Structure formats: structure tokens, C-alpha cells
């Protein structure tokens, strides 16, 4: 996601934190940050400086299979296991679970762990961040977004959200956040428990999130798109509900994960 997608997910999460989690988050956030949303895109800004982190934002899955398996797919270009967005979520969750131990706090930068976890929980819900290998999650597919040249990946990171903001939300991301929060408490209320839990284990369930994303990528993002496609109202209107749902799930699950870590 771009800045507004990450901001939305972190705003939703912040509003759902328990008292204990909100306190721990406040302790761990950088001095200058007022809430999770203000540091939610930090991980994108440090990609170039922390070069090792740039591969932790996504997963490449086999072309056209439309499924995901941790052992097969969660690795970087050199084949190193666990180096993908699902592995990163697991890793930063483990680090944060040690926040009460002074040896953990000495060994890890838990402020950065919190900022990475909050960002990666968003990215794993962007369908094309769990896309096909040969097109780099839609980065090599050239399309038009209405009249403008764009790559398919960017349409899902930014353009669908921006067009929705302009048309329905007074060009104000906070109005979008409020609309999604309304849906969470109304239409989706009876599904939210299922989003939060992982069967018998605790959140995060990063493999579930990744599997949902590649399924949505095939059903919605890649579907009916080829090199040079012109994407306009028919695509925008049919895909927007999926974008809303992925943003909502990302926010709910980030909160559930932090609430489970900080008790």
C-alpha cells in the first residue's frame, strides 16, 4: 500500500487497542510520534538505508497457481528461508513478545520492531504483495488507470484508494477511515471475531493472511487484466469493495496481534 492505505490500517488498529496494548505502544513509539498511524510508512522510507529490509514487504508465489505455501514461497531471491512479509511478521511479533525483558530490550530495537510489524501487517493484506513471481506482483504489467499510464501494482497500492477518496470521501483519508470503521461495526460485525482469531492459536496467522491475498489477487487484481489494459469505472467499482475489506482486515488483525502481545 501507499501512504493512505498504511495510515488507514494503523488508524483502525489504534482505535481497537486494549488499554494495556495502547500503553505499551505509547512507550515504544518514537518520542515524536503521536500514534501508530504516524509511523506506519516508516518501513517504506528506510528500505534504501536498511537494504536488507526491502524484500520483507512482499511474497512472490509461483506464476498462475493462485496459492501460497510458507515452505515453498517465503524466501528471498537468494533462497534464504523466512525472508518474506509472512516471516517478517512472525519475527517482529516474537521480538515484541519479549518487551518486558531487559535483555530483549537490549538485544532488539523494539521501537523499530513495532514500526515494522505495523507496516508489514498492512502489506500482507495488499493482494498484489502476494502476487506472481515473473511479474513482481504486478510491477511489470503496464496499464492505464483511466487516462494515466500506470503499473498494475501501483493501481492497488494507491490509485483505487485515491480515486475512492476523491469520489466518496471529500479527498480526506480520515473520512475513508471513518467509513471503514462504520462497516466494521455494522455490516462486518459478525465476521470480525473470525478475522481476529487463528483457530486454536494466537494471532498473527500470517499464512492465512497471505493465502487470502493471493486468492484475491487472482480473483480481482489480475482478473481480466493484460498488458496495456485500460482500467476505469468497471474495474474501479468492482474492486473497491475488496480494497475496503483488505484494509479493514489489516487494521483489525494488527490490533488483535498487538492486544495479544501486550497483556
Q: Can you give the binding site for ligand DCM, defined by CB under 6 A?
A: 30-33, 38-39, 42, 57-58, 60, 128-129, 136-137, 139, 153, 157, 168, 179, 183, 237, 240-241, 244
Q: Which residues bind Zn ion (CB under 5 A)?
A: 44, 57, 123, 157
Provide the minimum distance between the beta carbon of 200 and ligand DCM in the complex, in angstroms, as a whole number.
30
Provide the minimum distance between the beta carbon of 57 and Zn ion in the complex, in angstroms, as a whole number.
4
For ligand DCM, the closer of residues 46 and 97 by Cβ is 46
For ligand DCM, the closer of residues 34 and 227 by Cβ is 34
Provide the minimum distance between the beta carbon of 110 and ligand DCM in the complex, in angstroms, as a whole number.
12
Are the C-beta atoms of residues 252 and 193 closer than 8 Å to each other?
Answer: no
For ligand DCM, the closer of residues 10 and 198 by Cβ is 10
CA distances from residue 45 to 202, 212, 219 in whole angstroms, order as listed: 30, 27, 31
DSSP line for 123-149 = HTTSGGGEEETTTTTTTT-EEEETTEE
For ligand DCM, the closer of residues 3 and 179 by Cβ is 179
- Between CA 242 and CA 240 the distance in angstroms is 5
Query: What residues have CB less than 8 Å from 194, skipping those under 6 apart?
Result: none
Q: Which does 244 bind (CB under 5 to 8 A by kind): Zn ion, ligand DCM, none?
A: ligand DCM
> How many other CB atoms are there within 10 angstroms of residue 159's CB atom?
19
Binning the chain into helix, strand and coil, the percentages to the nearest 5 are 60, 10, 30
Amino acid at each position: 500500500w501507499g501512504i493512505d492505505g498504511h495510515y488507514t490500517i494503523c488508524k483502525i488498529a489504534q482505535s481497537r487497542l486494549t488499554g494495556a496494548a495502547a500503553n505499551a505502544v505509547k512507550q515504544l513509539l518514537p518520542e515524536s510520534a503521536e500514534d501508530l498511524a504516524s509511523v506506519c510508512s516508516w518501513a517504506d522510507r528506510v528500505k534504501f538505508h536498511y537494504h536488507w529490509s526491502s524484500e520483507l514487504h512482499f511474497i512472490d508465489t509461483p506464476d498462475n497457481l493462485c496459492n501460497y505455501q510458507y515452505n515453498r514461497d517465503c524466501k528471498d531471491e537468494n533462497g534464504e528461508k523466512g525472508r518474506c512479509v509472512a516471516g517478517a511478521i512472525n519475527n517482529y511479533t516474537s521480538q515484541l513478545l519479549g518487551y518486558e525483558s531487559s535483555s530483549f530490550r537490549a538485544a532488539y530495537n523494539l521501537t523499530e520492531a513495532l514500526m515494522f510489524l505495523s507496516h508489514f501487517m498492512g502489506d500482507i493484506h495488499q493482494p498484489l504483495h502476494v502476487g506472481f513471481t515473473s511479474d513482481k506482483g504486478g510491477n511489470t504489467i503496464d496499464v492505464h488507470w483511466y487516462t494515466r499510464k500506470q503499473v498494475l501494482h501501483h493501481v492497488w497500492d494507491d490509485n483505487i484508494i485515491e480515486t475512492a477518496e476523491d469520489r466518496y470521501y471529500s479527498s480526506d483519508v480520515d473520512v475513508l477511515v471513518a467509513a471503514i470503521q462504520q462497516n466494521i461495526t455494522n455490516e462486518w460485525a459478525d465476521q470480525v471475531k473470525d478475522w481476529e482469531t487463528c483457530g486454536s492459536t494466537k494471532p498473527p496467522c500470517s499464512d492465512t493472511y497471505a493465502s487470502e491475498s493471493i486468492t484475491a489477487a487472482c480473483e480481482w487484481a489480475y482478473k481480466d487484466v493484460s498488458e496495456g489494459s485500460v482500467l476505469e469505472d468497471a474495474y474501479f467499482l468492482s474492486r473497491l469493495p475488496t480494497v475496503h475489506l483488505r484494509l479493514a482486515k489489516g487494521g483489525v488483525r494488527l490490533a488483535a496481534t498487538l492486544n495479544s502481545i501486550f497483556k
